[in-house]
Amino acid sequence: MYPGRMEWLNYHHLHYFWVVAKEGTIAAACKVLYLAQPTISAQLRALERSLGEKLFTRVGRNLALTETGRIVYRYADEIFSLGCDLMDTVKGRPTGRPIRFNVGVADVLPKLVAYRLLQPALQLPEQIHLVCHEGSPPELLTRLAVYELDLVLSDSPIGPDVRVRAFNHLLGECGISIFGTKELAGKYRRRFPKSLDGAPFIIPTSNTALRRSIEHWFDSEGIRPRVFGEFEDSALLKVFGQAGVGLFAAPTVIEKEVRRQHDVRVVGRLESVRERFYAISVEKKVKHPAVLAIANEARQKLFG
């Protein structure tokens, strides 16, 4: 039904804003739009007045988007991309525009797990344009809240102390496997897991769920390994493990990939130590086709 009253948006103003945001400065946008700087500045001020919000803040000689500006830019990007699609469709040209899928991957999440989780999105009938952003969970959740991201993948759920309206979707859980070089695996496989007492170990940093789970298990079993290093980057940790610096842990779900990629052996498995993986979105019920594919594949096959 056509609404009786609508606040109309000036799409010329929005287009000027979009170009300035893409180019980074008004001067650069002038060259693209073939307009004078005062004209574009006036159009931007008119758009800000109509929205009642500041869209840019100055950083040195450049312009940076405000929080509202980032939201408006994302909508503008969709609007003008759809406009191009409309013209292509009317003129009989193939569009082929993929669905953009912006994902935040927590820096504590093993890269192989992230790949296995995201892989189903690239196998959809619809073409997906995947854009991955890596960062700390708080940083990614902030970007999720302003709709810069469609999804955040993490090894822990969003906590009650985080002031972001978002929902946790448990994708699955698995045990962990302990890996080492051929020599270390041969030595510490016997009497596992008691053999881990005094064994050389390299572990994730304390901001990971895996580190907390392993330490809790060590304490409960009275095991004290010799820790030779702590690593924030899970890929770097595995490289050091491949070099024989110490034993290391990784989720059992990627056991085959870890063995093959890093030429290491499985020392043993700890089924009681559980690793959980979450998709965090602003939707209580996910609707994005890529998110649905990820959740279904993870629950039915990857962790099923």
pLDDT digits (tens, 9 = 90+) for 188-198: 999 999 999 99
Enclosing H/E stretch for 180: strand 167-180
What lies within 8 Å, CB to CB, of 195 at 6+ separation is 187, 188, 189
Q: Which of the listed CATH numbers 3.40.50.880, 3.40.50.720, 3.40.630.30, 3.40.190.10 matches domain 173-276?
A: 3.40.190.10
- pLDDT band, residue 92 (cuts 50/70/90): low
Residue range 11-90, CATH number: 1.10.10.10
Residue range(s) occupied by CATH 1.10.10.10 in the chain? 11-90
pLDDT digits (tens, 9 = 90+) for 94-139: 556 677 889 999 998 999 999 999 999 999 887 888 999 999 888 8
- 55: number of Cβ within 10 Å: 22
Bridge partner list, 180: 265
Write down the CATH superfamily of domain 100-172+277-302: Periplasmic binding protein-like II (3.40.190.10)
pLDDT digits (tens, 9 = 90+) for 6-60: 567 888 899 999 999 888 888 888 988 888 999 999 999 999 999 999 999 888 7
Nearest partner of 153 among 7, 43, 286, judged by Cα: 286
Residue range(s) occupied by CATH 3.40.190.10 in the chain? 100-172+277-302, 173-276
